[in-house]
Homo-oligomer: A and B are copies of this chain.
Amino acid sequence: MPSGRRQQRCCLKKFKITFYPDNKSVEVEKDKTILSAAISAGLYINSSCAGEGVCGRCKVILRKGEVLSQSSGRITAEEKKRGVYLACITQVLSDLEVEIPVESRLNLEGLTQEEVNARMKKDYTEPEDIEPAGKVPSEGDFPFSPLSRKVYLKLSPPAAEEKMSDLERLERRISQAEKISVKHTCLSNIKSLGELLRSSDWKVTAALGRRDDFTEILFIEPQNTSGKNFGVAFDIGTTTVSGQLVDLNSRKVLGTKATYNKQAQFGSDVITRIMYAKDTEGLEDLHRAVVADMNEMILELAAEHGVDLNDVTYAVCAGNTTMIHLLLRVDPTYIRKEPYIPTLNFVPVLRASEVELRINPRGLLYCVPGVASYVGGDVTAGVISSGLFKQPHLGILIDIGTNGEVVLGNRDFLISCAASAGPAFEGSGVSCGMRASKGAIQKVKIKPVSFDVSYSTMGSLKPLGICGSGYIDIIAQMLNAGVIDKGGKIKDAAHKRIRLGDEGREFVIADKQASGTGKDIVITESDIENLKRAKAAIYAGVSMLVRHMELDLSRVERVFIAGGFGTYLDMENAIRIGLLPDMPKNKFVFIGNSSLSGSREMLLSSRAADTAADVARKMTYLELSSEPLYMDEYMAALFFPHTDLERFPSVK
């Protein structure tokens, strides 16, 4: 924010806004919206439309005070009488008392703010699909050469006849030891170098970091600290943020965390977030939200593994193009405007502190390069992690996240597309959805006729919700048991598990006695519709790429499935619902969060980072919205498994 603007604002009168039931107060200036006041107070209110007054999810009840609100078709006459307003288009004119009803909480399960906060904290869980802590990943194709390293150096003190400066002496020693020349881009290491070298008796450790095509001295420490060098890999998803702490000496993964992306409070998909980011403040809100997630994760990982944050010298981030723009505070506006041009796909290596990442202030940040506005570095990382880029035979990578992306190719070519699947498989936008973390229903069986349900949860806890693999099982099993038809409608049957809810029929998976939330865990027709659209978008994307290249699915030797499912995805069920093409099971490989594992590979090998850049440059992009056949493919896929059963012989 330019300082002039800030100064101007300081002079404005402030009003006190108190939110209930949290009983939290905050002071804001006149004309600010109630939504922004809630954000300032650290309270999460639903908002899917980026504060445009369209989605109607941010309803609040005004108990006391004066406001100015735009009119909205989302508010009924009855609600108007009760003092209901949309927080995003209602401006503050006096001190206010405002109630945030349960349904406007970010969390659709109606948790209180405290519960949300507790979950937000607690939710830095270790995803089960990730290598367990302590595992040393196999070196694979990429030789171990981490993006940063610490080198212990014993320098010979200057003799009387020598005139070489301290800095040259240090640089020459590094060049002898490491066979590279190093650079400096600022003065920070140099100012006290003379004293440092002498007080440590010419024994120091230099942290070296790779910046694009040169190596920089990140910092210099007295004595031998080379044993302590760590890096952190991130996958920044629209719905979920994951992070992994890695020992850059032993290559060991120390721990992995995942959490919901706090940006979700400003909109559930990239489009609404881009709209929210239309001014500097909105952009800053989104930036801060995701950086807070990342920093909390770094802090927890470091604390759990006894790592000093100053010894974390490198961060690698993969994310879709919008996520990376927001992380870097780069205006994302033109990502959503035709012809959909991002500001950057290749991000220069930055000082991590430029985006407020709390690793060593001199540590670096590498963002995995992306391909286009809707195929980002997360997909590039997936191509690296899966090995698709080097295979002689044809393969497909399907990344099932909030934005579904598909890549078709081999070592000779790579073509990608984006199928906006929505976050249903990530547990968002579905009534009882949750990430694949502890308490999530992940495997389900439903008996025909009796409709008896059996399930297993992650961590074998009482169920808290349903994750992506659980939903796939549920739909497939409901199809098989005859609970739903091909179109996804729930059978109009008199059964204790089938009932009419607020959004049409719903099927009870676990009742409140069985659940860990004290509420029924259900799947609604609306949920099924969301999941159907998501699977249709992905299937249509796969079909389109194959058609575009004039190939046939039968020639595909390998399908890599990436995403938050974990290793529990039931292949048969995924094919049964038409999410995945009907191919022999042995052609499918689950690679979990390949965006995160690809990032880690780059952290551990500069060769992997170089390869990622090559991949991003080489990969072409097919814009589905300008492909006339795409809509046909999508519409045809809006059935379970598909309108054209010839494509699903195993189901048929």
Contact = CB atoms under 8 A, between A and B. Distances in A.
20 contacts: A160-B626, A162-B339, A163-B371, A163-B372, A163-B373, A164-B341, A165-B341, A167-B343, A167-B346, A168-B344, A168-B345, A184-B348, A186-B351, A187-B328, A187-B330, A191-B328, A191-B331, A193-B343, A194-B343, A195-B331
A298 to B, nearest CB: 20
Contacts of A338: 160
A339 B194 contact: no
Chain A residues touching B, range: 35 or more
A354 interface: yes
A343 B166 contact: yes
A323 to B, nearest CB: 15
A628 to B, nearest CB: 14
Contacts of A330: 187, 190-191, 193-194
Interface string A481-507: 000000000000000000000000000
A449 interface: no
A24 interface: no
Nearest to A171: B346
Interface in A154-170: 158-168
Contacts of A329: 187, 191
Interface of A: 158-168, 183-187, 190-195, 198, 211-212, 214, 328-331, 333-334, 338-346, 348, 350-351, 354, 371-373, 621, 623, 626
A536 B331 CA distance: 66
Contacts of A333: 194-195
A630 B226 CA distance: 47
A190 B160 contact: no
A414 to B, nearest CB: 13
Contacts of A165: 341-346
A626 B162 CA distance: 12
Contact of A159 (B161, B194, B339, B344): B339
B183 A348 contact: yes
Given A158-B339, A167-B343, A334 B190 contact: no
Contacts of A372: 163
Contact of A350 (B162, B186, B334, B621): B186
A363 to B, nearest CB: 14
Nearest to A344: B167
Contacts of A212: 183
Contacts of A191: 328-331
A627 to B, nearest CB: 12
A334 B191 CA distance: 12
Contacts of A344: 165-168, 190, 193
A533 B5 CA distance: 60
Given A339-B158, A345-B168, A328 B190 contact: yes
Nearest to A620: B163
B187 A334 contact: no
A406 to B, nearest CB: 16
A395 B556 CA distance: 76
| Nearest 6 pairs of A and B residues by beta carbon | A184-B348, A167-B344, A163-B372, A194-B334, A165-B345, A194-B343
A214 B184 CA distance: 12
A339 B185 CA distance: 28
A344 B211 CA distance: 22
Nearest to A164: B341
Contacts of A373: 163
B328 A166 contact: no
A160 B168 CA distance: 52
A346 B165 CA distance: 8
B341 A166 contact: yes
Given A186-B351, A195-B331, A348-B184, A342 B158 contact: no
A162 B340 CA distance: 9
Contacts of A626: 160-161
Contacts of A190: 328, 330, 343-344
Contact of A194 (B187, B194, B341): B341
Contact of A166 (B161, B198, B334, B351): B334
Most chain B CB inside 10 Å of its own CB: which residue of A334, A354, A371 = A334
A440 B626 CA distance: 79
Given A162-B339, A186-B354, 16 more contacts: A160-B338, A163-B340, A163-B341, A165-B341, A165-B342, A166-B334, A167-B344, A168-B344, A168-B346, A186-B350, A187-B329, A187-B350, A190-B328, A191-B329, A194-B333, A214-B214
Nearest to A198: B334
Contacts of A354: 186-187
Nearest to A340: B163
